[in-house]
Structure 1
Amino acid sequence: MKIYNLSESTSIFNQYISEIRDESIQRDPLRFRRNLERLGELFAYEISKTLEYKVADVKTPLGIAQVPVLKQQPVLATILRAGLPLQQGLLNIFDKAENAFISAYRKYDDEGEFHIEFEYLATPDISDKVLMLTDPMLASGASMEISYKAMMQKGEPEHVHLVAIIASRKGVDYVKQHIKAKNVTLWVGAIDEEMTMKSYIVPGLGDAGDLAFGPKIDSH
C-alpha cells in the first residue's frame, strides 16, 4: 500500500491542520467544519493528479481549445457523522461525483471495551470506478477496515483512495496489515505516534464529530 503524508511537505495544508488542532480555534464549530472542508479540497486536488484524463475539445468564443478532463468521475464515500465536512470538501472539487454514506460507530461493553458496529450503507455501483473513502480520524483503523470491506461487497473498484486527516501510527500499521489489495492508496494529513488505551490519538485534535456538530448522548 502506497502512503502519502501531506504534512511531510510545506504547504498551506499545514496551516489548516494547525487550526483544526488548536483548542481555541476549535471553539468555533463553523470554522472547524470549514477547515475540514478545505482540507478535503486539498486532498482532492492532490488525488486528482493520480487520476486518468482524456482530451476534450472545448468551444470558446474564439475557437477550439483542447483540454485534459477527467476520464471518469470518482465515487466519494464517507463514514458518518464526522466525515461529512471532509466529504463536502472533496465534493466541491469532484462536483459531478457519485456519493456513498456509511454508518459505523464504536459500541462499548460494560468493561469499557469497544468494537466497531456497522449499521448502514448507501452506495452506487462502484465497479471499475475510482473510490475515495474518507474518515477524518484514523485511530485504531478498525472503522476504515470495516467500511472498506463493506464497500467491496458492492463492486470491484479500479482503485481505492483511503483519506484521513489525522492518523495514529498504530492505525496506519493496522490498515496496511488488514487491507492488502494492491489497488489501495492511503492519504493522511499527519501521523501521530501515540494513542490512548481508549484509542484516542495523541496529540490528535479530540472528537471530530463533536467539534463539528456538537456533543452527542452516547446511547450505545
Structure 2
Amino acid sequence: MTGTAPPSDRPGRGIFVTFEGGDGVGKTTQASLLEAWLTDAGRTVVRTREPGGTEVGVLIRDIVLHHRGEVSPRAEALLYAADRAHHIETVVRPALARGDVVIQDRYLDSSVAYQGAGRVLGRDEVRQLSLWATEGLLPDLTVLLDLDPVTARARLDADDKPFDRLEAEKESFHARVREEFLALAAAEPARFLVLDAAQPPTELAAAVRDRVAALLA
C-alpha cells in the first residue's frame, strides 16, 4: 500500500481503535487492512470483536445474534453489557497495558445505536450501562463507516449468508441505527473518523492509516 509511512514501535500505553457502522459496511475488511499494516510495521496488534471476543463472549454472541427464541430488548442490552465487561477486563485492558494496539470490531457505540436507538431503549441509559460495565473506557479512535441501509443490505444479500437477529430487522430499524451512529460522531468529533463506506476499500484504508499514524506519532 502507498501513503503514510507506518509508525515505529513505542513503549507505554497502547492504542484502542474501534470500527463501527451498520451491518455490511466493511468493518471487517478495514480492520484486517489496518492490522496487516501495523503488523508489517512491527507493532503488536490484538484483533478482537464484540460480542464474542472471549469464550464467555462466544456464548453470549450465540444468544443475542442466533438464538431462535425471543430475547427482550432490555435483556439483549444487558447481555451485550455483560460481554463487554468481561471482554474489556480480560482482553482489552491487559493489551493496552502492554502497549499493544487493540483493533476491535464494534464497541459501546454499537449498543447505543442498536439497542438505544434501534430497540428504542434510550441513548443515555444504554450508554451509561456500557460505561459502568467498562469502567469508563473509551477508544482513542472510532472509525465510523457510514453507508445507507439499502446499499448495505444489498451487500449482505450478495454474501448469500443467513441473517442474524439484528441483520434481519426492518429497514426502519437500520435507519434509526444509522442516524444514531451519525449523531454520536457529531457529538464526539475528536474521537470519531467518519468515512463514506461507498468509497473504494484502498481509499478508506489510507484515511484510517493517516489517523492511526497521528495517534502513534
> How would you bin the TM-score normalised by the shorter chain?
0.3 to 0.5
Length-normalised TM-score, structure 1: 0.35
Quick check: which one's strand share is greater? 1
Q: Per chain length, whose mean CA-contact separation is higher, i.e. which structure has more relative contact order (CA < 8 Å, sep 6+)?
A: 2
Larger Rg: 1
TM-score normalised over the length of structure 2: 0.35
